[in-house]
Structure 1
Amino acid sequence: MGALSALAHYFSRREVELLVEELSSYHRIQGSPYLEEAGRYIRDRLADWGVEVEVYDLPYSSEAPPTSAPIAGWFVEDGYAEVVKPKRGVVSSLREAWTAVVAHSPPGEFEGRVCYAPTYSHVQSCADRVVLTPDWGLGTYIRAVESGARAVLVFRRNAPRGAYPYFGLFPLIPELKYMRIPALTVPRDVAEEVVGYLEKGEEVVVRGFVRSGYRDVAYARVVEARFGRGDGEFHLVAHYCHPGATVNDNVSGSVALLAAAKALSVAIGGGKLKVYLPLRFVWVPEHHGTARYLRKVLEEGRTVRGAINLDMVGERQCRTGSALNLVRPPIVLLSRLEASLYAKTLEALPKAGTFSSPAEVPLARFSVVNYESGSDHDVYVAMGIPAVMLNQWPDKYYHTSADTID
């Protein structure tokens, strides 16, 4: 029996769905207590299954060059905004979606006329008003603050209708001085309705609030499951941060890793598999946790030979329009890991026979992509370690409240 067949024997779809439901219930924003709770949940599940586990609580306030500067801790309790003129209606509510409050928004109450700023350059004309903009970024927010705006409402032009986009500020500690006005997200269709009123010359007034705050002490909790002994580790990595109730990014990778860890533990315990190399399954807060963890690992004198990053791996391609991509490391870090993962991924994909030959072809879209940045494999690459990513892309529901298990 091959390793994949042995592991597949111990997978339970029902248990995977339960893990997805439970892990996605945490609002897993970096620097928040809810992310730390989610890390504890992962640790507890591994311990329940008899897996050797180590937890690293690494302060967000620490430096982790070359990829992670210190960021502020944060929490959120509630957020809401409504139009009060020309007619009443909800424009944003944390009770509808965890993504309704921009991550790391400061607290505050506001009321004022809406000023539509289609680009960053228009924001400066929105003094003493509430900015509505699709041109998001920390720079846009700071310009709104410096221009005297009362709040910022942000939407995404290509988001699914009715979905709240996910945006964040993630200020470095020195940037906290700019965190002065509330920031919330708005579904695209709601934003378009507001813009329609403004284009007809009507005055639109909104009011709302954010109840949130910053934390003096916050930890990037990294959970490491250990299989095998010896030097020259291979890491399987998944980030478990991002908003509550969102699934593909990246509860999918985190739960895939959890299910694999349990299956491997059971297979080893039952004598079906042996691990001859040191494998480490690692759950991280994206980039910030990975950089701090990997630096600590290397400072301890451990050697890492390669890493596989699982980020957004659980999609129905017919719904999301995606393909499963194997993202290669830079050519200078070419290794056998890349070829091995390619072969094993092809082996695992569902297949069907061709029209008139015994050959089989994959039933899922699968591509090999030259190195692209944007996830935790970047940290390994930056430290000279071969790292490959499995990722489904594109995804029409990416970074929105519509990223659900459905």
Structure 2
Amino acid sequence: MTKNILTTLSEFFSEQELIEIISTLMKFHRIQGSRDLEKASEYIRSELEALREFDVKLYTYEYSTWYELHPPVIGWNLNECFVELVKPSRKILTSHLQTKLCAVAHTPPGDVEGEVVYVGEGTRLAHYRDKNVGDKIVLAHGNPYLVYRVASQLGVKGFLFFKTGVYEDAVPYLSLFLTPEEAMAAKIPAATISRRHAHSIVSMLERGLKPIVRIVIDAEYFRDAKINVIEATLGEGRDELHAFAHYCHPAGTINDNISGSATLLELAKSFDRALYRGRMAAPKSMKIVFVWFPEYYGSLPYLLHKTSHQSSRIVFGVNLDMIGEKQEITGSTINIIRPPLFMNTTEYEGILIKYLIESLSINRSFSNMVKIVSYRLDVNSYDGGSDHDIYLQFSIPSIMINQWPDIYYHTNLDSVDKLDPILAKRIGVGIGSALYAISSDCLDREVVEMINNAYREYISGYTKLKFDIETLKRLKSMESPTGKEVQKGSIKYRYIGGKGVLTLRTILRLCKSIQNLEDILELLEKQPIQFLFTHYIPLLLMHRSLGIDEIKYYITLEYGIDIDEATIGNMINRLNQFKLIEEVTI
């Protein structure tokens, strides 16, 4: 049966059609809050409504509305962008004709010309000490929102951003995500250039030259931007299995995440063809639900609505985010990102990974005895950064299929030549086959239990093999919170804040003073503190009340790292100050 499902879906999955879908979606500049994002959603919806076997629904929310932790975002469209070096010689550094990433997303329009001053990271007032930036254009590589917020108070006339650590000719994707109120106050245009051009300007400054740059941006704001979520449901039953992908991000970029959203759309078409031709039957035990939304800003209101208004129950989710890359070009590995260990759910995970591995195993060993996985593949502990984060906050076990690292990530060089449609197909077919097997009861209980036991043993052993020897020794001596007697009067913490991702913009709004902000930024500069503070610890405390020593145990168990209790205590104090957690005395 396993082979039959994989074979059938593979036969009806068209690589040519996948490329056509990608070619259409890549034309839209799918910035959150843009009209092109709405047009992309209309295209996805129209393609789904042409299918015969799916029930298609559109959920519409507003970018102008607060959704728990997520603030409103201004509607924004880009028409034109030019960045030109005027002196000491004339040269177009970048333009919308080369890439629409040339304008920082949500920048106000403007036409400015001025001398460039390099401020390094540019995120703190200290970075501007002894620098005259008044009526000049600032060149910086720090977080654009922070730089914009700090330098706007100093009389600058324009912003030029670049990114360190990316390919030198790549123009980065950067954004401001301004609220409507912030957008009304914003008057200074912000553009991006490649690292090569940025270093050239810095070199001019070091030689005593005074480079002059002109920034021209034609953009417009509007307040009625729509968040469109498209849902396509197959089968019957109260329980739902979700496969989802975000369809936002800049025009011309492919792997993040046209690869996931297009593969999901072609997978739906594959199911539709197979069912229409009688090669498969619609699942009766559970529904398979495919969902497309803007990242975070779509998944949060969708799940708030879905979990409060619907009688159905979402039991598992699969996030497709960057799944069809040529590994030999981007340098990536297929990562299966698991839910956190404290959620302790492996039943659907094991089945999905079994089908995925089978779909990715094309070749055989030297002696032709066993199949071997034909791509770089790894199974990893929970990591954040995409819509599975939101599903997990609703206690829905979800995994992410993702290719990382990617040397072209969030740049204009994340282009169609990096796409591997065969790999995208194999991932899509593997996931679709697993969801169909689960929803149709294709596997008997004994086989399911065998798969689950094998997967649990694999995860337990493989995770520990990644830890260093000292961590393994430390884990052996640490006492699990589940087996520890609770002492009367002990202090624990639980999450009481809203759902959503704790972004830097949210942190800025929660800070009561500049000094408080400086302290937070200093704390978050240390890796992996930022992820623990913004993702892992809030998620952990959503699911259980824990003391600092218990939080330390879970971090060590999950990631094999030793974070001292003082640092954890500092993070807890900050979350407490933000009124996101509260102290509980047992």
Shorter-chain TM-score category?
A: over 0.9
The counterpart of 1:40, out of the listed 22, 39, 42, is 42
Q: Which residue of 1 aligns with 2:29?
A: 27
Give the TM-score taking structure 2 as reference length.
Answer: 0.67
The one-character-per-residue Cα deviations of 1:331-352 (angstroms, maximum 9, x if unpaired) are 2322312111211110110432
The answer to whether the 8 Å contact 1:145/1:178 transfers is: no
Higher mean C-alpha displacement, 348-357 vs 383-392: 348-357
1:306 partnered with 2:316:
yes
The aligned amino acid for 1:161 is E
The counterpart of 2:82, out of the listed 80, 83, 101, is 80
Q: Which residue of 2 aligns with 1:329?
A: 339
The aligned amino acid for 2:146 is G
Mapped to 2, the partners of 1:392 and 1:368 lie a distance apart of 11
Q: How does 1:142-291 map to 2 (within 5 A)?
A: 142-274=149-281, 275-276=283-284, 277-291=286-300
SS at match of 2:58: strand
Structure 1 gaps of 5+ residues are: none
The aligned amino acid for 1:304 is I
Q: Which residue of 1 aligns with 2:140?
A: 133
Structure 2 gaps of 5+ residues are: 418-586
1:52 partnered with 2:55:
yes
The answer to whether the 8 Å contact 2:76/2:106 transfers is: yes
- The runs of at least 4 consecutive aligned structure 1 residues that moved more than 3 Å come to none
The answer to whether the 8 Å contact 2:180/2:223 transfers is: no
1:64 partnered with 2:74:
no
Mapped to 2, the partners of 1:240 and 1:18 lie a distance apart of 16
The answer to whether the 8 Å contact 2:158/2:215 transfers is: no
The answer to whether the 8 Å contact 1:123/1:147 transfers is: no
The one-character-per-residue Cα deviations of 1:187-239 (angstroms, maximum 9, x if unpaired) are 11111111111110001011121111211111111111110122111111000
1:123 to 1:232, Cα distance in 2 relative to 1, 3 A = farther
Mapped to 1, the partners of 2:97 and 2:68 lie a distance apart of 37
How far did residue 134 of structure 1 move?
Answer: 1.4
The aligned amino acid for 2:384 is S
The aligned amino acid for 2:340 is P
Q: How does 1:8-23 map to 2 (within 5 A)?
A: 8-23=10-25
1:100 to 1:63, Cα distance in 2 relative to 1, 3 A = same
Q: Which residue of 1 aligns with 2:365?
A: 354
The counterpart of 2:306, out of the listed 293, 297, 307, is 297
1:159 to 1:209, Cα distance in 2 relative to 1, 3 A = same
The one-character-per-residue Cα deviations of 1:324-369 (angstroms, maximum 9, x if unpaired) are 0000011232231211121111011043222235022111011001
How far did residue 272 of structure 1 move?
Answer: 1.4
Higher relative contact order (CA 8 A, sep 6+): 1
Q: How does 1:84-123 map to 2 (within 5 A)?
A: 84-120=86-122, 121=124, 122-123=127-128
- Larger-Rg structure: 2
How much identity, in percent, do the aligned residues show?
37
Higher mean C-alpha displacement, 377-386 vs 354-363: 354-363
How far did residue 123 of structure 1 move?
Answer: 4.2
Mapped to 1, the partners of 2:152 and 2:227 lie a distance apart of 29
SS at match of 1:17: helix
Give the TM-score taking structure 1 as reference length.
Answer: 0.97
CA-atom RMSD, angstroms? 1.4
The counterpart of 1:374, out of the listed 385, 391, 394, is 385
Mapped to 2, the partners of 1:171 and 1:283 lie a distance apart of 23
Q: 1 or 2, which has the higher helix percentage?
A: 2
Higher mean C-alpha displacement, 299-308 vs 34-43: 299-308
How far did residue 273 of structure 1 move?
Answer: 1.4
Q: 1 or 2, which has the higher strand percentage?
A: 1
The one-character-per-residue Cα deviations of 1:269-327 (angstroms, maximum 9, x if unpaired) are 12211222211100100000010111111121331111100000010100011000000
The one-character-per-residue Cα deviations of 1:6-44 (angstroms, maximum 9, x if unpaired) are 111111111111111111110000000100000000011
